Amino acid sequence: MSGAPTREGILAVLRDVHDPELHRSIVDLGMVGDVTVRGGRVDIAIRLTIAGCPLKAEIQRRVTEVVTPLAGVETLSITMDAMTDEERHRLRSGLTGPDRPSPFQEGGRTTVIGIASGKGGVGKSSITANLAMALAGRGATVGLLDADVYGYSIPRMMGVTRPAVAVDDLMMPVEAHGVRMMSIGFLTEEDSPVIWRGPMLHKALTSFITEVWWDDPDYLLVDLPPGTGDVALSLANLLPTSSFVIVTTPQLAAQRVARRAAAMASRVNLPVAGVIENMSYFVAPDTGARYEVFSGGGGALLAAELGVPLLGRIPLEPAVAEAGDRGLPVVAAHPGSPAALALMEAADAIVAAVPRPALSPS
Ligand SMILES: Nc1ncnc2c1ncn2[C@@H]1O[C@H](COP(=O)(O)OP(=O)(O)OP(=O)(O)O)[C@@H](O)[C@H]1O
Ligand SMILES: [Mg+2]
The domains of the chain, with CATH numbers, are 7-96 (3.30.300.130), 111-353 (3.40.50.300)
The β-bridge partners of 272 are 244
Provide Rg for the chain, Cα atoms.
Answer: 23
What pLDDT shows up at residue 124?
Answer: 96
What pLDDT shows up at residue 356?
Answer: 76
What pLDDT shows up at residue 193?
Answer: 55
> Which ligand has the nearest atom to the CA of 322?
1
Test site for ligand 1: of 117, 125, 290, most ligand atoms within 8 A of the Cβ: 125
Ligand 1 atom closest to 121 (CA): 23
Dist. CA 269–CA 284, nearest whole Å: 42
What pLDDT shows up at residue 103?
Answer: 84
The count of other CB atoms within 10 Å of the CB of residue 2 is: 8
CB 106 within 8 A of CB 238: no
Contacts of 263 (CB under 8 A, 6+ apart): 228
pLDDT in tens, 30-58: 999 999 999 999 999 999 987 777 788 99
* Spatial CA neighbour of 52 closest among 164, 190, 129, 194: 164
Dist. CA 254–CA 100, nearest whole Å: 43
| Average pLDDT over every residue of 148-174 | 89
Distance (Å) from CA 324 to ligand 1 centroid: 9
Q: pLDDT tier at 360 (50, 70, 90 boundaries)?
A: very low
Ligand 1 atom closest to 322 (CA): 31
* Ion ligand 2: residues, Cβ under 5 Å: 124-125
pLDDT in tens, 303-312: 999 999 999 9
Dist. CA 224–CA 258, nearest whole Å: 13
| Average pLDDT over every residue of 236-261 | 89
pLDDT > 70? residue 191: no
Dist. CA 239–CA 111, nearest whole Å: 10
| Average pLDDT over every residue of 58-82 | 95
What pLDDT shows up at residue 362?
Answer: 42
Measured between alpha carbons, how far is residue 266 from residues 113, 128, 209, 243, 282 in Å? Answer: 15, 21, 22, 10, 33
Test site for ligand 1: of 115, 119, 126, most ligand atoms within 8 A of the Cβ: 126
Residue nearest ligand 1's atom 23 by CA: 121
pLDDT in tens, 126-144: 999 999 999 999 999 999 9
Q: pLDDT tier at 361 (50, 70, 90 boundaries)?
A: very low
Higher pLDDT, 43 or 187: 43
Q: Which of the residue ranges 76-90, 240-254, 339-353 has the most confident prediction, judged by mean pLDDT?
A: 339-353
Q: Which residues line ligand 1 (CB under 6 A)?
A: 117, 120-126, 148, 151, 153, 226, 278-279, 314, 316-317, 320-321, 324, 339
Q: What average pLDDT does the chain have?
A: 89
pLDDT in tens, 282-297: 999 889 899 988 777 8
The count of other CB atoms within 10 Å of the CB of residue 356 is: 12
Q: How are beta strands 75-82 and 170-171 bridged, if at all?
A: unpaired
What pLDDT shows up at residue 228?
Answer: 67
What pLDDT shows up at residue 217?
Answer: 95
Residue nearest ligand 1's atom 9 by CA: 123
What pLDDT shows up at residue 200?
Answer: 76
